[in-house]
Amino acid sequence: MVDPVGDCPVDFLPDGISLTVPAGIHQLNPTLETVNAPRVWQDTEGDFLYEVQVKDFPRPQPESGANGNRSYVAAGIVAWQDEQNFLRWTRSASAEKNAVYLSCEQFENGKYVGGGYFRLKDQPIWLRVERRGDALRMSHSDDGTTWKQAIERRCTYQQPLKTGVFGLNVTEKDYEFQFTATYCLKEQP
C-alpha cells in the first residue's frame, strides 16, 4: 500500500479491497505535478496479465471539484515504473462530461504520451492490463469472461514494474472504491 497523503484507509475484504479516498486532491497525473493517489500493488517483471473488477461508484456532482478542479473520480489499474512513467486504465466519472467512461492514460518522462477514452454503461466493469514484450494491452469485460481489447500502447518502462489498483478523487466528497476478483498472472523467471 502506498498512500502519499496518509489519509486513505484500505480494507482487505474476503472478496477484494475497499479503498476510501477522502475529499480533496488525490491525483495521479504528473502533468499536473500531483501524483499522490493511493495505490495497492505488487511487483511484476516480464510479461503479465492483471485483472480486477471495479465496482460502480456514483458520478460526482457538478461543480464539486476540490480547489477549482473539475469534478472527476476514477478507479482502476496502474502499471508503474516511477512518478514520471506509468500507465493507468480506469473506470472514470466526470460531472462536467455527465459521463462514465473507460480511460487509458500513459505518461513517459512526466508527459502525457497517449491513450484513449471509451463510453461505458454506469455499472461495474472488469479491467485487464496485459504486458507482452513491449506492448501493453488494455481490455474490459461486462461479465469477467468475455473480453474486448480497447487499446494497445507501446511500453518502454524499465523492469520491474509495480502493478495494482488505485483510486483517484479530486472532489469535495469522500469516495469509496471497491475492487474484487483481483487476479495477477506473472511470467515465471
Count Cβ atoms below 10 Å from residue 149 Cβ, excluding itself: 11
The average confidence (pLDDT) of the chain is 95
CATH assignment of 10-186, given 2.160.20.10, 2.30.42.10, 1.20.200.10, 2.60.120.200? 2.60.120.200
116-144 pLDDT per residue, tens = 999 999 999 999 999 999 999 999 999 99
138-188 pLDDT per residue, tens = 999 999 999 999 999 999 899 899 999 999 999 999 999 999 998 899 865
| pTM of the model as a whole | 0.96
Look at residue 67 in the predicted model and tell me its pLDDT: 85
Q: At residue 189, does pLDDT exceed 60?
A: no
Q: Order of strands across the sheet with 175-186?
A: 10-13, 16-21, 175-186, 48-54, 125-132, 135-141, 148-154
Look at residue 135 in the predicted model and tell me its pLDDT: 96
Look at residue 13 in the predicted model and tell me its pLDDT: 93
Confidence band for 63, pLDDT divided at 50, 70 and 90: confident
Look at residue 41 in the predicted model and tell me its pLDDT: 96
